[in-house]
Structure formats: C-alpha cells, structure tokens
Homo-oligomer: A and B are copies of this chain.
C-alpha cells in the first residue's frame, strides 16, 4: 500500500519524481526551496541537530545547503514534523472538517486519524461518504477509519446497521486506513460478521483500532491475536503495561472529558515509547479554541516533564508508523515536507506551517482557509431527526408498589457510571418523580432515526440539576434524543426544540427555551461560523449552569456518555436501563427495606 499523498500519479509520476530528486541532488537542477540555519527535531534519532532543509515538489530532499529558487533563513528556530492526532471523532468538535482544517493547520496539526463513528450511527454509509467528501476538500490530512460497531451494541437502536458488506467497499477510497475502534467485545466473541470486518481489514493489511475499556488480560490476548493492535481507552498504568507487552500500541488520550495523560505518562520510557501515541478522541469546540488539539496534549506532556523531542515523536513518527504511513512523521530526505517552525522547545507554538513544502499558515492564520467551501450535504444528513410521535405518558417510569429505583450514578470527571439504588419519590400514579433534594433527575432517551417509538426512561443520581431540563441529539453512540430534567414539562419543551432545530443542544426551564444550539448536520455538527457556535455554546453552558450544582463537568458531554452502553456500568438507551457488564436490560424498580 503506497502512501497516497506521494504517488497518486502512479508509476510515471513516481519515476519522474525520482529523476527530478536525483537531478537536484546531483546539482543539475535547483530545488524550489532551501531553509537554512534551523534546528531539526529529528524524530528518527530523537535528537535535535542543526542543519538546512532542501525541499522540492512537496518532499524533503536533504540536510545540506543548496542554491535554491527560494532561500529562507530559519534563524536557528526549531523545525518539527506536523503533528498527528492518532484518534479523533470529528463530530465531537461539532465542526465540519473544513472548519477544523482552519483551526488545526495553523497550530501545526497536519493529520488526524478520524473515526466517523457518530455520523455513521446516525446516517450510515451516507455519513461516512459525507465525511470523506469533506476530507477531500481539506489541506488537513484527514484519514478515515471505518466504523466497526454500528450500532455499538444490540442494546440500543442507532440510525443504521453497518455490516461487513456495507463498509467493505470504502477500502478502495485512498483516505481510508482501516477498521475503527472495535468496542463491542460481545460481537467479537459471538458474531460472524465482526470476524468478517476484521478479516476484510487484515486481508488488505489495514489497521484495526481497539477500544479496551472493559478488557481483562485474557481479552487483551484475544484482541492482540485478532490483530486489534491499539487502544485509546487505556486509563491505568497496569493496563498500559499489559497492552504494550502484547504489542498493543497505546494512544494516550487527553480529551475534553477523559484525561489520561497524567496517569499514564510515568510508564513512557525510551524503550517502549515507539508503541505510544497521543490522541484526543473527543474534543469540545470551546476547548479546541482555547487550548488547541493534539498540540495542547504535546505541550501538557512536556509540562509534565516528558522530553520535548520524545513528546513530538509520539505525536508524529509513532502514529505515522503505526498507521503504515510511509515517509511521514519525520524531517528527513524522502519524507513529505510537512513541518512547522517554532521558537520555544518547552512551549511549542507553531509560527510558520508548511504542508507539502508550501507555506500554508503563518502566525496562527491559515493562508488558504477552507471554511467557505461548500460540500453538498445529503438529505439523510441534513434531516436526521426522525422520531415517532409520543405522549407525556410515554416518558413515565412506573414503580408500582415498589419504593426504590436502580439508577445511574454520576461520578464527576469520569464516564463510568455505577449503579445506585435509592428510595425515590413517586406520584399518585406510582410514577417516579424527580427530587432535587435527593439529586434525582429523570433521564429520557427517544429513538430518533427510524420512528421505532422506542423510549427509555430512568432515574439519575448526582447530576446536580436543580431546575428545568437539558437535552441533546449528541448522545454516544446512537445519538438518539437524550434529555434530563427535574420535570416532564421542561423535558418535553427541550425535546421539541431539538426536533425543530434538526438537532443540537437545548436548555429549558419553567416552560421556556433559555438557550439552544442548532447542529443541523446529522444533529451533530454545524456549518455555521465558529464564533457564533462558540458564543451560542457559551450561552448554553451559562444557562445550563444556572441549574447545576456541580460545575466540575460539562453537563452535555456527561449526558452524551450516560447513554453509551459500551462503557461501564449502568446506562440508559432507547430500549431501557442497561447493565453493561451483563449486557442485559435491567428492571429498574426495586425495594429498600426501611
């Protein structure tokens, strides 16, 4: 498999290029560019050395100064390869790839390995194709992994069911690198179609991404034996060692919600670092604007004491090698001329950014912004809210004669939600009633893709909502409508606003919509201006914040994780309350002897 960016013209272009490189290096032809007097961050030897860079036709050709058409004095600044985010869900940024292009490239981020798992759960293959179409219009190198688990489990209903035969044709697309995170252990063990997906990837020598949050060491043996060889869900040092020993590359994740860097960094050493990359997984747009993406993770690692050269290597050469992207991730002859210049090794801020040997961003500004580029949005992506009509009675939780509920417990800062059992309030119809004193709220999940009429209802402990309701269509992995509230009226207000907006976020209180953000692309992303989005999101969070006791977590991201039944322990989906460990629907109603 050749690196597409290098040789898409085939044999004749390849030999023409080689002939030109040869003629340049033997002095017959002048190269396009020479950047003199720089300090090269050499990820191949993990050292910094002084040199010059000869560049032509998008490639680095040498370290020795030559007479070039253009000469630039680097003034001794550092040059590093463009950074790579080893695993990201673009949908979580709420931004289209074009907008992300304009934010990431000026920060020195040149490539992201994206899993369009969310849009695939909403729109199926149409969603994957839309993301590929967007990626083709960007300078940011967006490589796509094919979602392996749509739906993520049989315990909820997503907008699509993607079988091996559905995703297999996408392997012919040059930007598709492999099979995305295999999160459904049950499918791996029991389903023939999952083995087909794995085999389809292996047959083409493609990568298969893992998702190991619930795997024990025996499960890790299984994943590694099936060639599922990376994991971005590793959160503990013991588990990291278990993975590395099995040849499972660990993507240390530092996202908006889940932050594993501090915990895992002490395990990194010069011997095992080749198997370690960085990723963000899920990033919120506010955080991206404030802090950046994978560049921020690299800087955090340096702040934590990691050698800057190693930190850069883990965000460049390591993911390039892991994903078999030859000639990328290093500053060396024959490598793609994707690099950025910077001044402070201990706080890396890209000053000039070069992509394929051309200056593409300077001082944080993209020179060829893509946000105005129109990519046609398929109907299925544009109008993605398609739920059955429902009644107030459909969002009730009938407790009969019982006094307590098994409910989802929120632990601020984490996504693991244990089961909590407590005596709850109920009305005269024996229906559960939220109670702010006990911090009991009502959670509702409505299937929104295929009008099944499925609705899940449960109680939540510890969300800290004191009034009103918040709701969203961004609800991993099925992205059904999910609403949490202290009363049914506000819950329904919020849901109806989401339907009107074709998705997004809503805060409702006392019968009014206090704030809403429209995410009209699959109910996940928007084409709108980033400034508007950020302002609206700030307003949303401000308004939601009025009614939240606990300010230590993002309530909307927490909401989206509450219905993600691949992460332990208790979650709510459109078919009911789920025990993730047993993969069973739970009867929530129970009794506590008083």
A interface residues (Cβ-Cβ under 8 A, vs B): 1-2, 7, 10-11, 14-15, 18-19, 21-22, 25-26, 42, 44-47, 49, 54, 59-64, 188-189, 195-196, 198-199, 202-203, 205, 217-218, 220-222, 224-227, 229, 241, 244-247, 269-272, 274-275, 326-327, 330, 332-335
Contacts and interface: CB of A to CB of B under 8 A. Distances in A.
A528 to B, nearest CB: 42
B22 A188 contact: yes
A250 B202 CA distance: 30
A22 to B, nearest CB: 6
A148 to B, nearest CB: 14
Contacts of A18: 195, 198-199, 202, 226
Contacts of A19: 195
Given A19-B195, A64-B221, A225-B333, 5 more contacts: A22-B188, A60-B225, A63-B221, A220-B333, A246-B332
A109 B61 CA distance: 37
- Of A45, A188, A202, A332, the most chain B CB neighbours within 10 A belong to A45
B15 A64 contact: no
A59 B227 CA distance: 12
A21 B199 CA distance: 13
A205 B2 contact: yes
A18 B245 CA distance: 21
Contacts of A221: 25, 54, 61-64, 333
Contact of A2 (B63, B198, B202, B269): B202
B22 A334 contact: no
A14 B203 contact: yes
A63 B22 contact: no
Given A271-B270, A326-B205, A247 B332 contact: yes
Which are the 6 A-B pairs with shortest beta-carbon distances? A62-B221, A224-B333, A270-B270, A46-B271, A25-B222, A247-B332
A198 B218 CA distance: 44
28 contacts: A1-B1, A2-B202, A2-B203, A7-B203, A15-B195, A15-B199, A18-B195, A22-B189, A26-B222, A44-B246, A44-B247, A45-B245, A45-B271, A45-B272, A47-B245, A47-B271, A49-B245, A60-B225, A61-B221, A63-B221, A63-B245, A64-B221, A205-B326, A222-B333, A245-B332, A247-B335, A270-B271, A274-B274
A334 B241 CA distance: 17
Contacts of A1: 1, 205
Contact of A244 (B22, B45, B198, B245): B45
Contacts of A330: 247
A26 B62 CA distance: 52
Contacts of A64: 217-218, 221
A269 B11 CA distance: 38
Given A189-B22, A244-B44, A199 B14 contact: yes
A221 to B, nearest CB: 3
A150 B416 CA distance: 64
A47 B245 CA distance: 9
A531 to B, nearest CB: 42
A375 to B, nearest CB: 31
A14 B60 CA distance: 39
Given A224-B333, A225-B62, A332-B224, A245 B22 contact: no
Contacts of A272: 44-46
Nearest to A198: B18
A274 B272 CA distance: 11
A334 B222 CA distance: 9
A187 to B, nearest CB: 11
B195 A225 contact: no
Given A44-B275, A221-B61, A226 B22 contact: yes
A59, A188, A245 pick with most chain B CB within 10 angstroms: A245
A588 to B, nearest CB: 31
A199 B26 contact: no
A22 B226 CA distance: 8
Nearest to A196: B15
Contacts of A7: 202-203
Contacts of A246: 44, 63, 332-333
Nearest to A221: B62
A429 B60 CA distance: 60
Nearest to A242: B63
Contacts of A326: 205
A239 B1 CA distance: 31
Contact of A334 (B62, B189, B227, B270): B227
Nearest to A11: B203
Contacts of A199: 11, 14-15, 18
A196 to B, nearest CB: 7
A220 B10 CA distance: 25
A196 B170 CA distance: 32
